[in-house]
Structures are given as structure tokens and as C-alpha cells.
Amino acid sequence: MTLTPVQSPAEPPQERRESHALDVLIKVCGVVISVVAAVLSGLLEIFLAPLRAGGIPLGVAVVLAVVGNFSIAWFAHTTVGRRWAVAPPWVIWTALMLFAAGVRTDEGDYLIAGDNWVALVMILIGSLTFAIYAYRMILKPLAPVVITKQ
């Protein structure tokens, strides 16, 4: 008994080569776009973290982190077609948040203050969103395998 993955019908070599090059280009662009989206999303969330209405923190950054990071993870996984595609935007987004929380500006301020609970929850929930998406992908089965007798 032999396990072989399901394959599409044979294509002419020239079409296969062009299709492979286009596929690689789409995957590379998918990773690049997801990383850029993670950076832009992270910067927007950093600036929205201290947002208040009448002295009350609004928490818009937390909602944006959950929705944005889930969308970025979905986009990366869908365009690349591999589970590892979630890792680059996840790492970049988390590194950006940790950098904003741990590095002082020239004036001595932090971009994310330690007493801003919205920003701290945003970092936690935003990174957990990527983690939960990756975990759910791990639980899904891989591509179907056809068993043939020889």
C-alpha cells in the first residue's frame, strides 16, 4: 500500500513552469502584504490606544487588534497556502508592540505607557489572536491523501 497526495491532471511543461512562477510570486506578495499590513495595523493601534472620551478609555485599539490581526492572519494563510505564513506578520506585529512599550523617546516618554490598561490588553489580545488562529490551523487536517494498492 502506498500513500500518494492527490495530484491534478498532467499539464504541459511550459504551462507548469509559468504557473509555478506565478504561484511563487503570489506567495511572496502575500507574505509582504501581510507584513506591511501588520506594521500599519500596529501603528494605528498604538496611536488609538490612549483614545479617551470624557476621560474614559474607549478600547477601540483592542477591537481593532482582534479584527485586524485575525484578518491579516487569514489573508497570509489564504494567499500563501501554508501554515507558516502566519508567523511573519505575527512576529513583526508583536515586536512592534514590545518596541513601543519598552523604548523611550528622546523626551523620555514611552509610546505605550505602563499605566494604560487598554494598550496592555491590546498587546495581549492582539498577539493571542494570531496564536489562536495558528492553533486552529494546526488542528485542521492536511490535504487529502489517496491510498492506492500496488
Task: Give the tens place of pLDDT for each residue, 7-45.
Answer: 555 555 666 677 888 899 999 999 999 999 999 999 999
Domain ranges of the chain: 21-135
CA-to-CA separations, 51 to 8, 26, 35, 72, in angstroms, rounded: 52, 37, 25, 23
pLDDT at 150 over 90: no
Q: What is the pLDDT of residues 58-67, one digit of tens each?
A: 999 999 999 9
Q: How confident is the model at residue 108 (pLDDT cuts 50, 70, 90)?
A: confident
Which is higher by pLDDT, 142 or 85? 85
The single residue listed with the C-alpha cell 499605566 is: 115
Q: How far apart are CA 111 and CA 97, in angstroms?
A: 9
Output the average pLDDT for the chain.
87
pLDDT at 9: 58
Question: pLDDT confidence of 107, banded at 50, 70, 90?
Answer: confident
Q: Which whole number is the average pLDDT over 91-117?
A: 88
- Contact predicate 62/131, CB 8 Å: no
